[in-house]
Amino acid sequence: MTEAAELHRPQPGASSAPAPLLSVRNIEVVYDDVILVLRGLSLEVPQGAIVALLGANGAGKSTTLKAISGLLKTEDGEVTRGEIVFDGERIDGVDPDRIVRRGIFQVMEGRRIVSDMTSLENLRLGAFTRSDREVGRDIEMVYSYFPRLKERTGLAGYLSGGEQQMLAIGRALMARPKMILMDEPSMGLSPLLVKEVFSIIQKINRDLGVTILLVEQNARAALSVASHGYIMEQGKVVLDGTADELRDNEDVKEFYLGGAGDQRKSFKNLKSFKRRKRWL
Ligand SMILES: Nc1ncnc2c1ncn2[C@@H]1O[C@H](COP(=O)(O)OP(=O)(O)O)[C@@H](O)[C@H]1O
Ligand SMILES: [Mg+2]
């Protein structure tokens, strides 16, 4: 074997796929010591990917994100089984501010910006873990993604729903995270704004290399930007696959993409159509 070939030979025990940036392994989450919400949930997010976590209201999507970001602790929740590994290290049980320092930032459901502060002050809050001098430059970078935020100099509480969502994402970027956890960014937004927010999410992923775990009830929008998705029900993953596989799956179409639902709706239309036809 030549020296070069020797160098390229895989190391014993090394698998061909790189380790995922985030791996959640068989976790159980309990609130208030008694309420079991996650029952053996596992998922993986590769470095640089956008992965969608889908499911109906109450499935445990937000709980999963809070288990990863450590914010469960603030709600008397606890990971009681399994492990969460980020960038090669266990993070379950670690305090949320230390998890931010390790590179994970959660954009909470309902945006949760500070409404009696300006956009700029909110953005500075996102940089709370940083002491470097590039915070000012990063604020300009965030404004380049969200030019409207720069124009709005008043209190953040007066921003529109879409602008508040953008501010929440911009604030996450200020932490220079390796990974952003997004909880239902489309909630309460018009279809046009949903499109805009998702195209920005895609751009952030592509340009800045930020890995994204995206929780959504809007499966169609999420699968349009994600490469892979997980579907959860009652605290467990029931199905996962590439975004294309999920879009083509009949059950997913029926329950989450409004496929068969639309047919049922059109069935009603069909009846009235026939009735109308008879009278014509
Ligand atoms: N802080 C909490 N204390 C007790 N139960 C909770 C708490 N947060 C969520 N739950 C329960 O956990 C389940 C999953 O909630 P959640 O993770 O918010 O679901 P999703 O985000 O998918 O709608 C629900 O039954 C909810 O009532
Ligand atoms: Mg939720």
Question: What are the extents of the domains in the chain?
Answer: 3-12+29-248
The two beta strands, 22-31 and 89-90, are unpaired
List residues near ligand 1 (CB under 6 A). Answer: 31-32, 35, 37, 55, 57-63, 75, 77
The whole-number pLDDT of residue 145 equals 93
The whole-number pLDDT of residue 8 equals 55
What does each C-alpha distance from 92 to 107, 181, 274 come to in angstroms? 19, 15, 59
Give residue 10 CA to ligand 2 midpoint distance, Å.
42
Q: Cα angle at 113 between 48 and 193, to 5 degrees?
A: 65
The whole-number pLDDT of residue 256 equals 74
Cα distance between residue 146 and residue 241, in whole Å = 32
Torsion of Cα atoms, 93 then 97 then 98 then 101, to 10°: 140
The whole-number pLDDT of residue 62 equals 97
Say whether domain 3-12+29-248 belongs to CATH 3.40.50.300.
Answer: yes
pTM confidence score: 0.86
Cα distance between residue 52 and residue 50, in whole Å = 7
Coil vs helix vs strand at 178: coil
Helix (H) or strand (E) holding 213: strand 211-216
Q: Assess contact for 198 and 124: CB atoms under 8 A.
A: no
Helix (H) or strand (E) holding 106: strand 104-107
Give residue 133 CA to ligand 1 midpoint distance, Å.
39
**List of long-range contacts for 253-257, beta carbons under 8 Å, 24+ apart:** 255/56, 256/54, 256/219, 256/220, 256/231, 257/219, 257/220
Nearest CA to ligand 1 atom 7: 31
Tokens of 100: 């931010």
Give residue 108 CA to ligand 2 midpoint distance, Å.
9
CA of 76, closest atom in ligand 1: 1
The whole-number pLDDT of residue 275 equals 36
Nearest CA to ligand 1 atom 25: 58
The whole-number pLDDT of residue 253 equals 82
Ligand nearest to the CA of 53: 1
Ligand nearest to the CA of 108: 2
The whole-number pLDDT of residue 14 equals 54
Give residue 11 CA to ligand 1 midpoint distance, Å.
44
Ordered per-residue pLDDT tens for the chain, 280 residues: 455 555 555 555 555 678 899 999 999 999 999 999 999 999 999 999 999 999 989 999 999 999 999 999 999 999 999 999 999 999 999 999 999 999 999 999 877 889 999 999 999 999 988 888 889 999 999 999 999 999 998 999 999 999 999 999 999 999 999 999 999 999 989 999 999 999 999 999 999 999 999 999 899 999 999 999 999 999 999 999 999 999 998 888 877 776 444 443 332 333 333 333 333 2
Give residue 38 CA to ligand 1 midpoint distance, Å.
9
Tokens of 186: 């489309």
CA of 183, closest atom in ligand 1: 21
Give residue 238 CA to ligand 1 midpoint distance, Å.
18
Coil vs helix vs strand at 222: helix
Ligand nearest to the CA of 56: 1
Q: Assess contact for 184 and 217: CB atoms under 8 A.
A: yes
The number of beta carbons lying within 10 Å of the beta carbon of residue 181 is 26
Nearest CA to ligand 1 atom 8: 63
Cα distance between residue 6 and residue 145, in whole Å = 46
Type of residue at 72 = L
